[in-house]
Amino acid sequence: MALTAVGSIAFDSVRTPFGERERMLGGSAVHFSLAASFFTDVRVVGPVGDDFGPDELSVLESRGVITDDIERVEGGRTFFWRGHYEYDMNVAHTDDTQLNVFAEFDPKLSGAARQAQMLFLGNIQPELQRNVRDRCREAEFAGLDSMNLWIDTARDSLVSAIADVDCLLLNDAEIRELTGEANLARAARAAMRMGPKVVVAKRGEYGAALFSGDEFFAIPGFMLEDVRDPTGAGDTFAGGFLGYLDSRRGAGESPFDHEALRQAMAYGSVLASFNVEDFGTDRVRSLTREEIGHRLSEFRRFTHFDAEPSRT
Amino acid sequence: MALTAVGSIAFDSVRTPFGERERMLGGSAVHFSLAASFFTDVRVVGPVGDDFGPDELSVLESRGVITDDIERVEGGRTFFWRGHYEYDMNVAHTDDTQLNVFAEFDPKLSGAARQAQMLFLGNIQPELQRNVRDRCREAEFAGLDSMNLWIDTARDSLVSAIADVDCLLLNDAEIRELTGEANLARAARAAMRMGPKVVVAKRGEYGAALFSGDEFFAIPGFMLEDVRDPTGAGDTFAGGFLGYLDSRRGAGESPFDHEALRQAMAYGSVLASFNVEDFGTDRVRSLTREEIGHRLSEFRRFTHFDAEPSRT
């Protein structure tokens, strides 16, 4: 089992109704890798600057994430994002983005990174996603996450990148925007005609929906009384989802198996529910496998009903 | 088993991206009763005018709904609503509302209506809901639906009405507005402190969430490629939900039992999913018990995952 994750490694400054934090470790590759590390071996690929120190590295390494492919740019500064949330925490407001070392990023990709059988292309420029996908030809399952920025500014590149992956992960509104279909089921089918056999629609606090072949699956969000910081929830979901699928693949199963995909949706949701309970990576970095198992059981109880109840 | 439903009996003129219809039979009590009729005996209470004819009556009676408590106002006209939906069909835009016979409605309530052991107070003036609740003292389970209009214009009356029912059904945004809590779980707990032991948050295409005591349950929306008219989906949900609960109550079980409530959420969702497939009552009036059972099984398959998957 080995999963290569490419995406941003960042410092995030975040304000929510529940507090404010400066320069926390974040980024799509970081949130993804921490979540996936509970299920499989993860190798993280991305550039950092001189401001990325041993403390940041140790967050990843203490979860067993392989950091050999993190590229340190001498004299550079790490990607920086500043944002805030109002009471509707489904919507992130960006106050500042500094690409820094990401502006010139040309991933080197070690032999080990290129040989991964599972690949995650986090939310970065679609051209970069295509470049990495082209060079990781061993991957039998590649997932891609993106955002409305690229639909608006680099649609053709994004469509090309999507054409070459197995699984597309996007917010439901973004799938609608990408395809021009108002109905989510139709929009997901249209997205599948672009290439991916699997489409995951992320729905914030409302959970997520999965489309694979003719199959469908939906899961509500895990209900929490305290959501402190939703930053990285989507990437954490993707990490739980692809990480679990890679563990099944490692056991000889197909990552396209619908039962495995359904279960992966549940694990992705569970991991995301932990992520939002505290700022940045604080909750996931201290998480245990037992807590994940316990919450999965709770979650099943919260969503279970019978197909043929005894009395009707 | 007997359920009394009080609410609007209406003519609706509706335009959606998929068509336009004039003066269809509608209203909260109508949509509710048709859905509940698949599970229990329903008695519908509400006023109509001279324009309400045998065709409208036969829609209800062909589903076995008891119409003795429909009050015909000589020389009056039936409640009328005109509205439309844009591509986001979660939002109804009201173009015209004519209360007509509803403006002076003072429900007479036959002895049979007052003796019902289950009561649904559809979305009408909170004062009217209180009036009916006060006179139906046999009901061991009363559900109340409302809307933002009454939160904005008659909050005190609404809070009094809520205090005297067992179950509150509202859109999730309305529960937040009513309680001033941004987080749905906290908002639902705050609503429970107003009186009801059970709170159902309706979430449009995203499904619904249930809070009862310390328990929680959530169900996503049933995924449909064709949603033609969402009018009445919430009342149809309520009809499936309370109708099923009444059938369990009739079998000697408590309507507060969490397993029964979970199952009722599934039936409510299934009924609502049929309602939106066609305009007005067109789909539900032709529905069969077999179609309901089949969709429930599909729905379970679409949402099922395991608490302890074989491999992790």
Alpha helices in A75-210 (DSSP H): 111-114, 126-135, 148-153, 155-163, 172-179, 184-193
Distance CA B41, CA B251 (A): 14
Q: Which residues contact B23 (CB under 8 A, 6 or more apart)?
A: B11, B12, B13, B80
Q: Is the ipTM of this complex over 0.85?
A: yes
**Cβ neighbours for B13, distance < 8 A, ≥ 6 positions apart:** B20, B21, B22, B23, B24, B80, B81, B82, B83, B96
B contacts of A306 (beta carbons < 8 Å): 263, 266, 300
- Residue B301 has a CB neighbour count (10 Å cut-off) of 14
Say yes or no to pLDDT of B10 above 50. yes
> CB contact, 8 Å: A312 with chain B?
yes
Q: How far, rounded to the nearest angstrom, does the alpha carbon of residue A205 sit from its chain's CA centroid?
A: 15
Quickly tell me which residue has 């807590």 as its tokens.
A291
Asked if residue B312 has pLDDT above 70, the reply is no
**Over chain B, what is the mean pLDDT?**
95
Chain A residue with minimal CA distance to B181? A87
Tell me what pLDDT residue A1 has: 66
DSSP B186-212: HHHHHHHHTS-SEEEEE-GGG-EEEEE
* Count of CB atoms situated within 10 Å of the CB of A61: 12
**Burial of residue A256, with CB atoms counted within 10 A of its CB: 0-12 exposed, 13-18 middle, 19 or more buried:** middle
What single-letter DSSP state applies at residue B90?
T
Other CB atoms within 10 A of residue A203 CB? 22
Which contiguous run of DSSP H or E holds residue A137? none
Q: Which of A27, A7, A252, A38 is nearest to A113 (CA)?
A: A7
Helix, strand, or coil here: A80? Answer: strand
Along the 312 residues of chain A, how does pLDDT read in single tens digits?
689 999 999 999 999 988 999 999 999 999 999 999 999 999 999 999 999 999 999 999 999 999 999 999 999 999 999 999 988 788 899 999 999 999 889 998 999 999 999 999 999 999 999 999 999 999 999 999 999 999 999 999 999 999 999 999 999 999 999 999 989 999 999 999 999 999 999 999 999 999 999 999 999 999 999 999 999 999 999 999 999 999 999 899 999 999 999 999 999 999 999 999 999 999 999 999 999 999 999 999 999 998 876 444
The pLDDT of residue A312: 45
pLDDT surpasses 90 at B80: yes
Q: Is the pLDDT of residue B7 over 60?
A: yes
Per DSSP, the residues of B277-297 read TSSTTHHHHT--HHHHHHHHH
Largest CA distance in chain B: 70
A254 touches chain B (CB under 8 A): no
Stretch 258-297 of chain A: residues touching chain B, C-beta under 8 Å: 262-263, 265-267, 293, 296-297
Give yes or no for a contact between A12 and A27, defined as CB atoms under 8 angstroms apart: yes
pLDDT at B1 over 80: no
Contact B157, B130 (CB under 8 A): yes
Which residues have C-beta within 8 Å of that of residue B298, sequence separation ≥ 6? B222
CB A101 within 8 A of CB A47: yes
Q: How many CB pairs under 8 A join A and B?
A: 125
Contacts of residue B197, Cβ cutoff 8 Å, sequence gap at least 6: B166, B167, B212, B213, B256
Q: State how beta strands B93-98 and B79-84 pair.
A: antiparallel
**Contact criterion met (CB < 8 Å) for A302 and B218:** yes
> Which residues make beta-bridge pairs with A212?
A198, A215
Interface contact A91, partner B, CB < 8 A: no
Picking from A258, A305, A308, A311 by the largest number of B CB atoms within 10 A of its own CB, the best residue to mutate is A305
> Cα angle at A253 between A251 and A259, to 5 degrees?
120
**pLDDT band for position B309 (cuts 50, 70, 90):** low
The pLDDT value recorded for residue A15 is: 96
Nearest CA in chain B to A270: B307
Angle at B67 between CA B63 and CA B68, to 5 degrees: 150
Closest CA to B69 of B124, B110, B37: B110
Please report the sign of the dihedral spanned by the C-alpha atoms of residue B155, residue B161, residue B167, residue B169. negative
User: CB-based burial of residue A71 (10 Å sphere; 0-12 exposed, 13-18 middle, 19+ buried)?
Assistant: middle
The answer, for A220 touching chain B at a CB cutoff of 8 Å, is yes
Amino acid at A137: R
> What's the pLDDT tens digit per position in B42-63?
999 999 999 999 999 999 999 9
Q: How far is CA A301 from CA A222, A266, B148, B264, in A?
A: 11, 12, 32, 15
Q: Report the candidate in A90, A94, A91 with the shortest Cα–Cα distance to residue A14.
A: A94
Nearest residue to A219 (alpha-carbon basis) of A148, A272, A281 = A272
The minimum CA-CA distance between A38 and chain B, rounded to whole Å, is 9
Predicted confidence at residue B307, as pLDDT, reads 84
Q: Which of A295-299, B300-304, B307-311 has the lowest mean pLDDT?
A: B307-311
Residues 165-194 of A with CB under 8 A from B: 182-186, 189
Which 3 state secondary structure label does DSSP give B154? coil
Q: Name which of A63-72, B14-23, B83-92, B106-115 the model is least confident about.
A: B83-92
Cβ atoms B189, B211 nearer than 8 A: yes
pLDDT (tens digit, 9 = 90+) per residue, B164-221?
999 999 999 999 999 999 899 999 999 999 999 999 999 999 999 999 999 999 999 9
Query: Is there a contact between B274 and B287 (Cβ–Cβ < 8 Å)?
Result: yes
